[in-house]
Amino acid sequence: MLELQNITYILPNGSMLLSAANLTLPSRQKIGIVGKNGVGKSTLFRLIAGEITPQEGQIIRTATRVYVVPQHFVQFDQLTVAQALGVDGKISALHAILAGDSDEKHYEVLQDDWTIEEQCAQALARWKLTSEILNVHMHRLSGGEKTKIFLAGIAISEPDLVLLDEPTNHLDQWAREQLYAEVQRSNSCWAIISHDRVLLDKMERIVELEAGTLTNYTGNYTHYRAQRDAQAEILQQNIEQQQKELRKAKLVQRKTLERQQRSDARGQQKQERAGVARIMMNTLRNKAEQSTSKTKEVHADKIDRLQGSLRELRADRVDNSAIKVAFDPANMHTGKLLFEGKQLQVRYNNMPLWAEQGIDLRIVSGDRLHIHGMNGSGKSTLLKLFLGKLEPDSGQVFRAESRILYLDQDYSAINPTESVLEQAQSCNVHGLEEHEVKTLLARHLFHTDDWAKPGSVLSGGECMRLLLCQMAIRQEAPDMLVLDEPTNNLDLFSLEILTNAIRDYQGTLVVVSHDASFVDELGITQTLAL
């Protein structure tokens, strides 16, 4: 249905995102696209959609209608929902015809799509949206509502190929389940960029973008991980074998040269005792030196070949091992009351956010609390109450003094104007030497080229790693971690780093997340459903 052949795409700054890449998107198949942030997954989708063209290669389309659910919607903010979905023209033409305007242009726009309004209403209703939203401007809607609108547009457009870029980022659990069902029900081909492991496990094929190359793995995400782990193990075995052969070759070289030098020395002594003429001795010495030189050359060539082979193997090895973040345990003893709210209530437009009796919540040190609920249920509002950023309209609140690290989905604790190194140094309260700070940055995968980057250009994964690095530089863990959808802007590699860090953290945890796989690994001890 759609095929990419030997596609090369180079950014204006000279960075190569794709190099002779190949990809086939057959009818009806469900395909997951994975890769680290910044490798070019969204650019790949723009190429498939025809928004940009490659410098080399060709894209073969067979009567393919492509529909895109983007990750970001800012380009649609000034449009109404109907305009964003591309149905405003047909709806306007239908209304004009029904009002008695028989101008031919209205019929050309409508294209006999007389049920367009009913189609829109039905598609929106599947996502618990009403047709009135068609006249609302996109900038007035939440991230979850925008995503659901574009997901509803799939049924309206009936495309051959659906491209979805991180579609579950802003969806609550109900909407995620709806999307999972839609994927399996649809007869279209779906290609999905996602870090949602539940969604990726519903794929039939995983395509990994790495170093400009697309690699296909048959099966879902779990099967892909098993294949990647097996490949990594084989590669590591090959590296270890090559290292063993290299050590052996160096040992043989040393022993051979030592043996030859001893032999040459003995030969020279015999010649001197036998009274061999000096000119003959010089000739024999030259031959011995030539023999030694040739032996050195033979062994050096073998060692060079082994070292080159080892370099190639190491280059093939991708460092996907998660950062090992060793937090000190929180100093606070277990069981101390940190927060208590009784009959908490917040009102918007004089309407209560929660049930009339409000919310009761008690958190003591050592708790690991998961707060969940549908979009709009007040999860982020409750966190603001908890953090003291908001006071309730009614109810009682107690907050104990404690050190809290708050991570939201935008990692707003990162200063957008300061460099990576400056933000690391700002946490150096114990007077670490500069080289020690830089060593900690390197351990969190920030190398020399990254140190001058301002916070504004960091990816979600980089922001998360910088915050973890700051905690390591401070050399003290917070009493409490408060997380508000922290996985939304992370790739799978960064997600693994964050998961490991939080799982090993010995302190109080409060997390809001719709990512079931993520939450399952955190050792949650209690849940609150809103």
- For 519-528, the pLDDT digits (tens) are 999 999 999 9
Residues 138-164: what's their mean pLDDT? 93
Sheet holding 2-10, edge to edge: 16-25, 2-10, 56-61
Taking 90 as the threshold, does the pLDDT of residue 211 lie above it? no
Residue 12, pLDDT score: 84
366 found inside a domain: yes
**In terms of pLDDT, which residue wins out, 48 or 317?**
48
| Burial track 98-112 (b if 16+ CB lie within 10 A, e otherwise) | eeeeeeeebeebbee
Nearest partner of 459 among 405, 414, 508, judged by Cα: 414
Same domain? 159 vs 54: yes
- Residue-wise pLDDT for 215-238, tens only, equals 999 999 999 999 888 887 887 888
Share of the chain above pLDDT 70, in %: 89
Residues 43-53: what's their mean pLDDT? 92
Q: Which of 227, 242, 266 is the last residue of a domain?
A: 227
Q: What is the mean pLDDT of the chain?
A: 86
Taking 70 as the threshold, does the pLDDT of residue 433 lie above it? yes
Same domain? 397 vs 311: no
Confidence of residue 275 (pLDDT cuts 50, 70, 90): low
CA distances from 226 to 221, 240, 518 (A): 9, 21, 19
The secondary structure element, H or E, covering residue 16 is strand 16-25
Residue 364, pLDDT score: 94
Phi, psi of 95, deg, nearest 5: -65, -40
Same domain? 241 vs 296: yes
Same domain? 448 vs 357: yes
Confidence of residue 278 (pLDDT cuts 50, 70, 90): low
Q: Which domain holds residue 304?
A: 229-316
Q: Which of 227, 252, 276 is the last residue of a domain?
A: 227
Residue 273, pLDDT score: 57
Same domain? 76 vs 168: yes
Residue 317, pLDDT score: 59
Q: Which of 281, 316, 351 is the last residue of a domain?
A: 316
- Residue-wise pLDDT for 339-391, tens only, equals 999 999 999 888 888 988 899 999 999 999 999 988 888 898 899 999 999 99
Residue 458, pLDDT score: 85
Taking 70 as the threshold, does the pLDDT of residue 63 lie above it? no
Same domain? 261 vs 249: yes
CA 274 – CA 267 distance, rounded (Å): 11
CA 394 – CA 401 distance, rounded (Å): 22
CA distances from 59 to 359, 388, 444 (A): 56, 54, 39
Nearest partner of 461 among 497, 510, 415, judged by Cα: 497
Whole-prediction pTM value?
A: 0.76
Is residue 71 within 8 Å of residue 10, measured between CB atoms?
no
Classify burial at 482, counting beta carbons within 10 Å of its beta carbon; exposed 0-12, middle 13-18, buried 19 or more. Answer: buried
- Residue-wise pLDDT for 379-412, tens only, equals 988 999 999 999 999 999 999 998 888 888 778 8
Nearest partner of 495 among 220, 72, 233, 198, judged by Cα: 198
Residue 267, pLDDT score: 62
Same domain? 348 vs 413: yes
449 found inside a domain: yes
Same domain? 377 vs 522: yes
Tokens linked to 444: 């969190």
